[in-house]
Every structure is written in structure tokens, then in C-alpha cells.
Chains A and B, each alone.
Chain A
Amino acid sequence: MTAIVSAENLTVAYDDFLALDAVSIDVAPGESFGLVGESGSGKSTLLRAVAGLSPVASGRIMLDGKPLDAKYRDKAFYRQVQMVFQDPYGSLHPRQTVDRLLQEPLAVHGIADAEKRILRALDEVGLGSSFRFRYSHQLSGGQRQRIAIARALIIEPQIMLLDEPTSALDASVQAEVLNLLEQVRRDRKLTYIMVSHDLGVVTHMCERLAVMKGGKVVERLSSADLVAGRLKEDYTRNLMVASKGFVRAASMA
């Protein structure tokens, strides 16, 4: 397998605290790769390190077989890799219209025919052109997240980094956004790296996943293995049990 994105012994340190401790992952082209863990496990840090948003202390990140600089990312990188953040209430500029929000990446990358692309991007995420001149406070959470996805898709990246894209949304809206993400991945043959604390969501979206704890990867397995319960680590099993919901008998013990 030739990986499109890989991390080798990646370490991210904040002073003495190791947020990531020698983590390695490989993501194949066209694959959807999940990162699962509790808060503080380093899953978001890993994703942000790939995007160049975390201070990398050692190790390297490869894109298409070429090592990336520890800090600096050039425009070509962001043309290829885009990110969707967790909180749609915080990741859209409150004083810019949807039109302005979607124009920004086009302007940054010097892409022409903005008009056509904005309309197509809105259409692709299931919002009509009537949403074009609204502000983000006039949109619901699910609609905002669709705009965030449109903003990432508009420059036609190959790789999408998804940091808990649905955890701020209602269950019913989550289903819509997950379906949208699956559909654009199929249509555009994208590679996803997706962070979530919800095993249900990750196994639904991803073929393979890595379970993280305390800045380390404790287990790598396929979604099929996870569903069938072929696990090696107790920690993964705990997450499995927790995701099945509250059971009174167990809690009384």
C-alpha cells in the first residue's frame, strides 16, 4: 500500500506534556480512516498536526511520499488538504455572508469563475442558492456545517480532515451530514481522516481506524473487526461497552 498521508513517530509536545507520543499512521488513497479516543487522547492533535496546526517536536508527516516541513505548509498543500472543524458555531466568520465565506478560499488560491463554483458548491451540499447571501447566524447548526463542508470542497481537495464534524449536531441532523460526507467522498474519490469519540459514527464512516489513548495509538483495526468484536485491547473493549449505552445491572455493581 502506498500511503497518501502517513505519520512516522510523530511527537507533539506542549512544554513537558506529550500530546502525541511517537504516533505512526498510514492512510491509503481513497480510504476513510478513523481516529477514536476520549478527550485528551491526542486524536485531534494528530489531525491538526497533519494540517500544520500543532507544534511538531519530532517525527515526520508524509504527503504523497514526500515529507512535509514541520511548521510551514505552502498553498499547494492546502489546495490538496482541507479541514472541517467540530463546532459550526465557531468556525464560520459571524460577519461574513455565505457568499463571502466561500469566496475566500477561491481568492486565496486564485481560482477563477467564483460565481459558478459557489453555486455548485452550495448545490452539492444540499443548500440552494437562496442561502448564498445569508449570515451564519441565520442558519441552523446542520446548515452551518454544510457551509463549512462546502468551503472545504470548493477548491477541490483530495484529502479532507474531519474533526468531529457532527458531534455538535442533533442525531437526526447528524445522519444528514454523514450521508452528505459519504456521498461527496464517493463522487469525488476523496480520502478522509475523521476524528470522533463515537464508535458508531466512525465504524459507519471509516474502513479502518486507530484507537488512541494518552497520546499513543493503542490499537489499529478494521471497522469489520471492531463490529465483530475481534479486539486485542481492553481499552477498545471499554469504549465498545460504553457506546452501547447505559445498562442498569452493570452500574449497580
Chain B
Amino acid sequence: MSTMLTVDDLRVSFPTRTGVIEAVRGVSFTLGRERLGIVGESGSGKSQTGRAIMGLTPAHAKISAKTLNFDGIDLLTAPPKVRRNLRGSRVAMILQDPKYSLNPVMSIGRQIVETLRTHENVSKREARDRAIAMLEAVQIRDAGRVFDLHPHEVSGGMGQRAMIAMMLIAGPELLVADEPTSALDVTVQLEVLGILDKLVAERGMGLIFISHDLRLVSSFCDRVIVMYAGKIVEELAASDLGNAKHPYTQGLLNCMPMLGTDRHPLPVLDRQPEWAL
């Protein structure tokens, strides 16, 4: 398996009035054409890791790494123009909530076409046809109608599918999905995940799936990275989750109330200060 993305000792920190906040503190991993899950609580640095790869870290943040390499391109030294060209065409990102991350004053179709025409030289007609085909690929019925709708006119599940369509239309090789289904109902979640899974498999993309839900990630990904306080505490194959060694991973697995288990009170995480060292 060829390596597409290499991350070595990635650090992201935010200078604030009260001192420097280190959001990511030395994260290293490599990614080929596989599905990698990054799991952690809020504040564990999982989203900032994804954003650093995308080049979406806020301007005032400090970002450093020994290596941050995507297919031979050094992302840290690449000029903005190169990164702009990468973003959307070769590396794409799906955000959490379609309510906030789609442009509310632009029709869904125009937003998809915009992505496509930014990166490829195609005629308006062809762009429209391809956008509609993409909407059909994410299983939106009546794609021609949805093309002209605005984000507020569609449900959350459909909005998220439109976002997936938008991100995949330029045929990226790497997809970063940051909590792509957390804002959706459970039944819709499965549909959206099914679509995502199918498209990622068909197109042979690399996927980084960021989520707080360890079980969901393990059922969806090949490999799982568990983050705590900006660091990787454990990395394991998804099928191996039952044999997790780190007490934090075990705690995350155990603290969810599940159907058919009767545990009162629920086990809670006993956070050890040395986990964050």
C-alpha cells in the first residue's frame, strides 16, 4: 500500500492572552488508501489535526511538524496557491453540520458547480450535468429539483448528502470527514454512512474519519487512532478494539449505555494526569 499522507510530529498551538494553548502536541501517522478513524473527546485535538492537513488552521495559530507531506508535496512550505489548488480537488473535507457549513444564499447546485468549475475547466452545461449525476450518486431522488433548492429547503440528511456530493465532485484522493453524521438522526446517520462508505470504496480514496464515537468509528474504519489532550494514546486495528490496552480507550468503550446491559451506575472515566503527559 502506497503512502499518500505522512504526518510526523504535528504540533498546533494557539497563543492567547493567558498563555499558549497546545491543541495538538506531536501527532504522527501515515495514511494510504485506507479508512483511518481519529477518536477523542472535545478538546482532544482531533479536529485541529484534520484542519492542519486541510490547511484550514486559523492564521494566528502556530503550526509545526517534522513532516507534513501529501503525495510528495510539503504542505508546510507549499505556497497558498498550491494549497488552494489541492483543497477541494485532491483533498476535501466534510464538515459536521450542513445547517452551518453550506452557503445559505446559494442554491445547492450552484455550490457544487462552483467547486467543480474552480478546479476543472468545464462548460456550464457539463458542470450542471455532472453535479446532477453526483447528487444521484449520493442517492438523492429527483436530483434535478434538489439542484435548484437552497440549503434551508432540505432536511439535515439531504444537506449532508449534498455536502458529500460537493466534496467528491472534483474526485479528491483524500477525504477528511469531521464528525460527518453527528448532527443527524440515528436512522439517517446510517444511510449517510452507507453512501460515504460505498463512494470511498468505489473511488479508492483515503479517508480520515474524525468522530467522538468510538464504536461508530470502529465499525466504519480499518484503523483507529485514539487521541487525548493533543496526543495519540493508542493506535489499533478497528477489529482489535476489544483488546484495547490504554485505560482511556477502554473507558471510552465502557461508558456508553448500551441496549441489553444493565449497569448502574455507568462506569466513568477515571482520568489520570499521566495520560496527558
Binding site for B on A (CB under 8 A): 38-39, 141, 170-176, 178-179, 182-183, 197-201, 203-205, 226-227, 238-248, 250-252
Given the contacts A171-B213, A251-B198, A197 and B186 also touching, CB distance less than 8 Å: yes
Chain A interface: which of B64-72, B78-86, B123-131, B260-268? B260-268
Whether the pair B42, A175 counts as a contact (CB closer than 8 A) is no
Cβ B216 vs Cβ A178 within 8 A: no
Among B106-114, B164-172, B189-197, the stretch in contact with A = B189-197
Q: Across the interface, do A246 and B41 meet the contact criterion of CB distance under 8 Å?
A: no
Contact B193 A175 (CB under 8 A): no
B251: CB under 8 A from chain A?
yes
CA distance A245 to B37 in the complex (A): 15
Do the beta carbons of B267 and A175 come within 8 Å of each other? yes
- Which residues of B are in contact with A by a Cβ distance under 8 Å? 41-42, 156, 185-190, 193-194, 197-198, 212-216, 219-220, 251-252, 255-260, 264-269
Q: Please pick, from B187, B220, B256, the residue contacting A171 in the complex, using a CB distance under 8 A.
A: B256
Q: A38-B185, A245-B215 are in contact. Are A175 and B255 (CB under 8 A)?
A: yes
Could you tell me if B259 and A172 are in contact, using CB atoms closer than 8 angstroms? no
Supposing A38-B185, A175-B267 touch, asked if A251 and B257 sit within 8 A by C-beta, the answer is no
The answer on a CB contact under 8 Å between B259 and A179 is: no
Inter-chain contacts of B194 with A (CB < 8 A): 246, 250-252
- Establish whether residues B187 and A246, one from each chain, have CB atoms under 8 Å apart when the complex forms: no
A175 to B258 alpha-carbon distance, docked (Å) = 11
Contact B252 A171 (CB under 8 A): yes
**Across the A-B interface, the 5 shortest Cβ-Cβ residue pairs:** A251-B194, A204-B257, A175-B255, A179-B265, A242-B186
CB pair A172 B258 closer than 8 Å: no
A251 to B267, CA, bound (A): 32
Q: Given the known inter-chain contacts A141-B42, A175-B268, please indicate yes or no for A199 contacting B259, CB distance below 8 A.
A: yes
